[in-house]
Amino acid sequence: MKVEVKRIVERIENLGGISDESHCLSRFYGTPAHKRAGDLLIQWMENAGMEVFKDSIGNIRGVLKSPRAKAKHFVIGSHYDTVFKAGKYDGPLGILLGIEVAQRISENAIELPFHLNIVAFADEEGSRFNTAYLGSSALVGEFDEIWLNRKDDNVHTLKEVVEKNEGNVTHIFKEYIPKEDWLGYFEVHIEQGPVLCEKDLPLCLVSSIATQTRVNIAWDGVCGHAGTYPMHLRSDALCAAAEFTLEVEKIGKAYNDKLVATIGKLNVEPNISNVIPGVVTHSLDVRSPDDLLLAEITKELKYKAETIAKKRGLNYHWEIMQTNPSVSCDAQLKAALSKSIKKANINSLLEIPSGAGHDAVMISKVAPVSMLFVRCKDGISHNPLEYTAPEDINEALNVCNNFIEEIIEISNTKNK
């Protein structure tokens, strides 16, 4: 195993051991484990020769500066927060590959025609506040001030969490890279699906990223004694949520490969065995490669929720937490990435869309984006069984180094 690959694998294991839970990997935004992971990334970036700082939202930002006047910024990034019961590779693999690219440039004293930024985004998953891309939104100046009032399950606001971690909320709106200063963005990520395993390929190009809408739904019924309240008189919030959940599943199956819909988080109050549930809140996550279809289905699901609430004699509240359009990867960057894959002696140039969201979604608002998928065993992700073999990491690192060389060549040609 090459020393660089060995270092990446060891660092993945180190980060995988930093968790807020003793029995699994869980590193939500703004927690003690999240801070420890960020501090370690700062150390590794500094060791790689970068100037490093942590911004107010919690992004870890390392940079190798170009000596050229008016140089633009090229960013390699991914995230270091996780879901609950997470795998080790989702997010950190892309960060660590970027650090190795920067270290190679630093050690070989390669003059850059652009500022190379390696960014570990503080929050991509949205696990704590149900708002994804907190980190990347701040980097591009798209952070929404209303998010500061969002609350987690313990009723802590995002503003409180930022300040507890020594961030300045007013600085969040100042610490971005202006649109005119961007050159491009590159993200490496595990595939989180089975295609590469089925094709027996180590990696592939990403063509696009699906559109996504996240909704919080609350059902307000009436609590009552489980033993004395007649069934036909009940306004059971959980039954309403259950009926809606089955409607979501029906729609997802009806549209099959055109759409996916998930209810993954559920809170029941008072959550006592002998009390009829009075309030139920849950998430709704709907994704599709088709923006118009997603909008139509979201509207249809809201109508179904309204119908269920009316039929069952309770109230419901529908709050769209976040919606993002589909994103196409940049043609010029894809061409450079294709060339880089060929130089690494990988014969196939498979190109697939991403159903998962990535920080590239937010970056695409200001800059051209590109992505590389790396094979993960059996396509498993968001799961402790998540795994990418060192051999595939090695292939990805070769492509990353080739890709930056291509971007350097393209930039030098333009500057002549």
370 phi/psi in degrees, rounded to 5: -145, 150
Q: In the predicted model, what is the mean pLDDT of residues 384-403?
A: 98
pLDDT class of 231 with cuts at 50, 70, 90: very high
Both 160 and 307 in a single domain? Answer: no
293: three-class secondary structure by DSSP: helix
Structural domain containing residue 281: 211-324
- Percentage of the chain surpassing pLDDT 90? 98
pLDDT class of 83 with cuts at 50, 70, 90: very high
Write the CATH number for 11. 3.40.630.10
Both 199 and 261 in a single domain? Answer: no
Both 294 and 353 in a single domain? Answer: no
Both 225 and 311 in a single domain? Answer: yes
Q: In the predicted model, what is the mean pLDDT of residues 289-297?
A: 96
Both 133 and 277 in a single domain? Answer: no
Both 289 and 340 in a single domain? Answer: no
pLDDT at 415 over 80: no
Q: How many CA atoms lie within 13 A of 197 on its CB side?
A: 13
109 phi/psi in degrees, rounded to 5: 50, 45
Cβ neighbour number for residue 46 with a 10 Å cutoff = 12
Alpha carbon distance 50, 25 (integer Å): 28
Both 202 and 219 in a single domain? Answer: no
Q: What is the pLDDT of residues 260-292, one digit of tens each?
A: 999 999 999 999 999 999 999 999 999 999 999
Alpha carbon distance 64, 46 (integer Å): 10
Q: How many domains would you assign to the chain?
A: 2
Q: Is 5 exposed, middle or buried (0-12, 13-18, 19+ CB in 10 A)?
A: buried
Q: What is the DSSP track for 121-139?
A: ES-SS-TTTS---HHHHHH
- Predicted confidence at residue 347, as pLDDT, reads 84
Q: What is the pLDDT of residues 344-359, one digit of tens each?
A: 999 889 999 999 999 9
Domain stops at, among 269, 294, 324: 324
Both 293 and 360 in a single domain? Answer: no
Alpha carbon distance 106, 110 (integer Å): 7
Both 374 and 289 in a single domain? Answer: no
Q: What is the pLDDT of residues 239-266, one digit of tens each?
A: 999 999 999 999 999 998 899 999 999 9
311 phi/psi in degrees, rounded to 5: -65, -35
Q: Is 244 exposed, middle or buried (0-12, 13-18, 19+ CB in 10 A)?
A: buried
Both 288 and 397 in a single domain? Answer: no
Domain stops at, among 324, 343, 375: 324
Write the CATH number for 248. 3.30.70.360
Q: What is the pLDDT of residues 51-63, one digit of tens each?
A: 999 999 999 999 9
Q: In the predicted model, what is the mean pLDDT of residues 106-117?
A: 97
Domain stops at, among 289, 324, 359: 324
Both 198 and 300 in a single domain? Answer: no
Both 176 and 245 in a single domain? Answer: no
- Predicted confidence at residue 229, as pLDDT, reads 95
- Predicted confidence at residue 177, as pLDDT, reads 98
pLDDT at 220 over 80: yes
Cβ neighbour number for residue 343 with a 10 Å cutoff = 15
pLDDT at 38 over 80: yes
